[in-house]
Structure 1
Amino acid sequence: MYTSKLHAPKVYGYIVSSIAKPAAAKPSHVFDRDREWASLIRFATSPSPDVRLGIVSGRRRQGKTYLLDALVQEFGGFFFAATDETDTEALARFGEALAAQTSGAGGRFTFTNWHEALARLFALVPEGLIVIDEFPYLSKASPSLPSLIQHALDPRGYARQGKTRLLLCGSALGVMGRLLAGNAPLRGRASLELVVKPLDYRASARFWDIKDPRLAVLVHSIVGGTPAYRREFVAGDVPESVEDFDAWVARTVLNPEVPLYREARYLLTEETDIRDTAIYHAVLGAIASGNATRGGIANHIGRKSTDIGHPLSVLEDSQLIAREEDAFRKGRSLYRSCEPLIVFYEAVMRREWTRLERGRPEAAWSNSRATFLSQVVGPHFEALCREWAMFAEEEVFRELPGRVAAGVVADPHNRTQIQVDVAVLAQEEPGRPQRILSLGEAKWDKVMTAGHVDRLRRARDLLSVKGYDTRDTVLACYSGAGFHDDIPEGVRLVGLKELYA
């Protein structure tokens, strides 16, 4: 009898029967993740003899372990969850977990190295799945482990004798990314490279069971699409309404007794490539304050632009920030944070830490609510609008978008710059001007008027002069507060209802 990992501590490994069930439907307890489940099923059931290795990565709290546990329960195999420990300790726990296949309980195999451990593993699990969760912990303690796995997967390696599928999973994105990069031993060996990302904003609203789209945006601007934040971190505490939102913030994310309170700080310390967190917090704080360019970030924290190259690269590799090219100025990159909770921490919590530590969340929130709306919700709403545009149906912009980004249009005559929050570009065609499908402005807390449309129309005319094809450009207004009736016909209006439809 084997204990299901759903009810057991993560530190234990276990094996279930290697006889796969006939059905491969996603289990009902796995929310969303249809694409990820389908990819894992294809990997597990592939008849190809070359399918042997899969890499599954993603930031912590996204449900990777939950998903892979369900896969092993469905198809059978061996599951081992690594922890941050010495090589000797890891081998001992691994031997104990593997011994469960033959004895069912108690006992252990004793291994002196990972070569012995892997050889015994593939001999005892010739079919089904082998899942090693949090693999970066093992490779940190034993740097030669990827090379040993490569040897096992070679045409003459001992893993080739059966039909085993090996899945390596990890949350340290920099480490997982390097497993298949450059001259890494496992480069070219993987048949699956799956990144488990946060739930999108619509799925997140369903997961939190929030029907009001305005409340959904407010909650998503803090917790994003990380599933664990609802269940484990706030114990299912969901704001009942927009009116309850302020009280919910005070009793959850600003409450030192709730795990979500310190989560943003832990997200940095959990990344193995991050040592001195001060510079990383400074960079993230600069981005949260609205400094999106490399030069702007450097000036904000009092450093030279060359000094922040490494922190920016590490944060990118960790998927905590993303670099996006300006829609209209090639070579000009804009940085944005990918983790809403970190933006909230840098813009709100870090500045009010003394009040929060003294148990005054209501006062801290009262002092920060305006900052929250301008520096957190406003930019977050713009990002949601770009996401909506990128995946809009063909009829919305007359064809499917090729790229969606923010951009700045210089207006030399008026000596100003026009910020375009949602620029929808068509696929580039060699020899033809770049076609602009849509230009849009997004406002979270302002009713949009004809004046916003005039600004977009001016941007369209300026881009036309620069050589862009704007003959069929759709002007669009995105608002969380509504639209004035002076907006002319033909302008696409996207409100909260459309955003979540």
Structure 2
Amino acid sequence: MVGKRAFVGRQQDLGRLRRHLDAVVNDGAGRLLSVRGRRQAGKSRLVTEFADRSGLPQLFFTASRLASCQEELARLAQAARHSTLPGAHLFDGITLADWHGALRQVASALPAGPAIVVFDEFPWLTEASPSLEGALQVAWDGVFESTPVLMILIGSDLAMMEALTSYNRPLFGRAKECVVDPFTVADTAAMIGVDDCSVAVDAQLVTGGYPRLCLEWRGAPDVMSFLRMQLTDENSDLVVIGRTVLAAEFPTEIQARHVLGAIGAGDRTNKAISTRAGLQAAPLARSLHLLREAKRVVAADLPVSTRPAREPRYRVADSYLRFWLRFIEPALPDISRGRWDLALARMRDSWLDYRGRAVEPLMRASLERLATSDPRLAGASVVGGYWTRSGTAEVDLVGVDQWPGATRVSVVGSIKWRDHSPFDQRDLSDLVAHRAEVPGGHDATLVAVSRSGCMARDLAAVYGPEDLVSAWSDRT
């Protein structure tokens, strides 16, 4: 018999959930918790583990995409019958007519003491039943709020889950919020069991910190070994998760999916994306708005300096999806016919160039964290990049006091994430020249981020793989 996968890490997230449950136990009152995070970030697994560890009676219901309201109610009744709630038998042989009645029935099945009720894929439930939010408000105010129950609503539609608790929505003022992120690079290093932090960074760029993908690392000594293991199986998690995520996020938005594909292929400006996707300005703007604001799968970067900027560069926000769109999706025909070797060869040929660009957001976020305690990064509350409109100069790292509205550039730096070549004097000369192009950066501190050390002098600081992974270690 195959058991469930071992649960690793997530101690901070488990602690947060435990504190919410402690409040229920201590106060004897209900608590409504909205849990959101990217698809495949591990939300459902986390909540399942938490509920099981609690030892309390529980009902865990997962919605189904595109199911009707009546189908969902029938499935809820079935889940409740097989739950560990003391009143599970109350669902025997009944047909739930609507959500008002269903929630009353759930309340009747609860024990006198603490319990946990979970609705997973909550956005799908509200899609099938727009009246659910209102019904839940009525049930919460009338019954659940005065009952010792921790009710957890889980969703991957980030915009919808954020809006769930906003003003003028039925659950406003009633729900607490909890965000579950993918693993950080420090979490990933611990999960895959590597001591080499440069390998951990590579793993983060490929797995995105998705727990399922990290579990599949299985002792691979480097990223190419991992890719080889995964590509030999067309049904491996590395291959399949990308298709699953995109099918769930974009069931009908064909134009937006084309735009995402263009960005994943490396097009970053409006003009380049428009050309590849074959869209005019208006439909392109609509698709970008959907990708950025509703789906949150695309990020828009602006050149950071003391001068306002308007022309963004776009990138896939999730590093796994970025890798999948760039390498896996185009290789699906080869992988499916058993020619994974061709796919791996293309990845090997392009990996260094791809990694050099893909690592930048992670490096910037890492330096922002280090800046809170490293005096060499003093004043760098926000770390971004800078580029000229003509593209003649580009600076990897620009640390400013605030963004938008920066008044001071405190740090300017360069990233050289090469396997065997250290940051050298020539790299420093280029950095000094490009610093002069950054508005407000003429006297900024110079720093470098290097995978392979540094031979240059006159830098305020040099950060390597160990420094960057340690920036996230307080979350493990």
Q: Same fold (TM over 0.5)?
A: yes
1:56/1:313 CA distance change after superposition, 3 Å: same
- Amino acid paired to 1:494: Y
Q: Is the 8 A contact 2:412 2:441 kept in 1?
A: no
SS in 1 for 2:359: helix
Q: Is the 8 A contact 2:41 2:180 kept in 1?
A: yes
- Amino acid paired to 1:500: V
Give the superposition deviation at 1:139: 1.8
Cα deviation 1:171-216 (Å, max 9, x = unaligned):
23343233234533223322x2112111111211111112222322
**Cross-structure match for 1:218:** 202
CA distance in 2, matches of 1:54, 1:408: 42
Matched, 1:284 2:260: yes
**Cross-structure match for 1:261:** 239
Gaps of 5+ in 1: 1-5, 9-28
Give the superposition deviation at 1:491: 3.6
TM-score when normalising by structure 2: 0.85
CA distance in 2, matches of 1:300, 1:32: 41
Q: Is the 8 A contact 1:409 1:420 kept in 2?
A: no
Give the superposition deviation at 1:308: 1.8
CA distance in 2, matches of 1:117, 1:41: 27
CA distance in 2, matches of 1:287, 1:476: 29
1:162/1:248 CA distance change after superposition, 3 Å: closer
CA distance in 2, matches of 1:124, 1:104: 6
TM-score when normalising by structure 1: 0.81
Matched, 1:145 2:132: yes
Higher relative contact order (CA 8 A, sep 6+): 2
- Amino acid paired to 2:259: V
**Cross-structure match for 1:314:** 290
**Cross-structure match for 1:26:** none
Matched, 1:64 2:43: yes
Matching residue within 401, 409, 415 for 1:436: 409
| Within-5 A mapping of 1:91-240 | 91-99=73-81, 100=83, 101-102=85-86, 107-125=92-110, 127-154=114-141, 157-181=142-166, 183-190=168-175, 192-231=176-215, 234=216, 237-239=218-220
1:91/1:493 CA distance change after superposition, 3 Å: same
- Amino acid paired to 2:213: Y
Cα deviation 1:317-361 (Å, max 9, x = unaligned):
323222233212433333221222322232223333333232111
Cα deviation 1:130-170 (Å, max 9, x = unaligned):
2212222322222211110111223xx22233233321112
**Cross-structure match for 2:473:** none
**Cross-structure match for 1:19:** none
SS in 2 for 1:131: strand
1:123/1:342 CA distance change after superposition, 3 Å: same
Matched, 1:408 2:379: no
1:137/1:108 CA distance change after superposition, 3 Å: farther
- Amino acid paired to 1:135: F
Q: Is the 8 A contact 1:448 1:477 kept in 2?
A: yes
Gaps of 5+ in 2: 471-476
CA distance in 2, matches of 1:48, 1:334: 49
SS in 1 for 2:107: helix
CA distance in 2, matches of 1:323, 1:133: 30
**Cross-structure match for 1:293:** 269
- Amino acid paired to 1:151: V
Give the superposition deviation at 1:57: 1.2
Cα deviation 1:90-126 (Å, max 9, x = unaligned):
2223223334534667935432221111112223325
Cα deviation 1:35-75 (Å, max 9, x = unaligned):
42333233222366886321001122222122212332316
Percent same amino acid among aligned pairs?
23
Cα deviation 1:370-411 (Å, max 9, x = unaligned):
223212x1122222211210110422435363211122146x
CA distance in 1, matches of 2:382, 2:183: 21
1:199/1:451 CA distance change after superposition, 3 Å: same
1:183/1:274 CA distance change after superposition, 3 Å: farther
Q: Over the residues paired in the alignment, what is the CA RMSD in angstroms? A: 3.0
- Amino acid paired to 1:418: A
1:158/1:497 CA distance change after superposition, 3 Å: closer
SS in 1 for 2:436: helix
**Cross-structure match for 1:476:** 447
Give the superposition deviation at 1:426: 2.0
**Cross-structure match for 2:474:** none
